[in-house]
Amino acid sequence: MRRRLTIKLSLGLALVTGLAAAASALGIGQDRPEKQGHRNAAQLVGAFTWHAEPDWFGGFSGIEVSADGREMTVLSDRATLARARLHRTGGEISAVQLQSAQHLRSSKGALLRGRIVDSEGLAVAGDGSLYISFEGVSRVVHHKRDTARARVLARPKAFRKLPLNKALEALAIDARGRLYTLPENAPNAAGDIPVWRWEEGRWSQPFALPRHGGFLPVGADFGPDGRFYLLERNFVFIGFRSRIRRWDITDQGPQNETTLLETATGLHDNLEGLSVWQDGSGNLRATMISDDNFRSLQRTELVEYILPAGTSR
């Protein structure tokens, strides 16, 4: 989560409790079923608030759900990686069983501390190893396993020039093992979102994505359909809005942009992590997790939507 929002969050969230009753009465921050069905292609499955006791718990910015939807790996922005089992009732998440937690290590094997801790994006490779992007000191690292020391991928000049706390927020890996990362708020000269790709040991910038409205990128994933999914967030004084867009990534660049979800203010908490997978009924699901910023007025929320499949390519 960006530190520059701290003051706004402190003021805005302090009013949320007092405004909640009035907002409910007026219908603010709620998507009525008939309205949601008209506005969005995605269908809400459910939202589950996750509580746990450890001091490290909270601040989740990345998530990866297993192919069968029963396990998840989550990443906090304070460099804690946790694994958990998901239990569902009637298709909705009904319980989360924490399995393990590990504080990430640096390339020298020491536990991450200080200004290099701000971990944001998570991608799991086909061999189970982990890639993580960082926002403070802009970089992407590779861990062969949860407890292993990091291998820092090459840092191009473009990464070093990214603004502090506006940098590599989202990370995704495609079926060919190529990494894609993009900053939260560092548009190029045309005002678009630059996307970098790691392939054969080097970074390139093959394309950029258009920006629309006040939304900023916070999470990304490639679905089992091979498409690129982008989770975006917009913060206003009384809460958060979320949006999911989708593209086909081709040799000619991103094509067939589709907006699948755009929520009303306050419908969900601060959703930052995105994982797209296919359930037992063949539906595409987007599972998202919220960053509670370690604040009592916020919550760690797991939210799931069914996404339209569209035309496969």
Digit-coded pLDDT (tens) for 202-261: 999 999 999 999 999 999 999 999 999 999 999 988 899 999 999 999 999 999 999 999
Specify if 264 maps to a domain.
yes
Specify if 24 maps to a domain.
yes
Please compute the mean of the pLDDT values over residues 190-195 and round it to a whole number: 97
Per-residue pLDDT band at 119 (split at 50, 70, 90): very high
As a whole number of angstroms, the distance between CA 251 and CA 13 comes to: 44
Name the domain count of the chain: 1
As a whole number of angstroms, the distance between CA 54 and CA 78 comes to: 13
What pLDDT was estimated at residue 23? Answer: 38
Specify if 312 maps to a domain.
no
Burial of 251 (0-12, 13-18, 19+ CB in 10 A): exposed
Per-residue pLDDT band at 165 (split at 50, 70, 90): confident
What pLDDT was estimated at residue 236? Answer: 87
Specify if 14 maps to a domain.
yes
Please compute the mean of the pLDDT values over residues 42-49 and round it to a whole number: 98
Q: What tokens appear for 174 in the block?
A: 């495609």
CATH of residue 251: 2.120.10
Specify if 69 maps to a domain.
yes
Per-residue pLDDT band at 11 (split at 50, 70, 90): very low
Q: What tokens appear for 236 in the block?
A: 């206003």
Domain that holds residue 196: 3-307
pLDDT at 21 over 90: no
What pLDDT was estimated at residue 39? Answer: 52
| Share above pLDDT 90 across residues of the chain, in percent, rounded to a whole number | 82
Specify if 313 maps to a domain.
no
Please compute the mean of the pLDDT values over residues 68-96 and round it to a whole number: 97
pLDDT at 33 over 70: no
Which has the higher per-residue pLDDT, 296 or 5?
A: 296
Tell me the backbone φ, ψ of residue 216, rounded to 5 degrees.
-125, 145
What pLDDT was estimated at residue 237? Answer: 82
Of the listed ranges 28-32, 57-61, 64-68, 105-109, the least confidently predicted one is 28-32
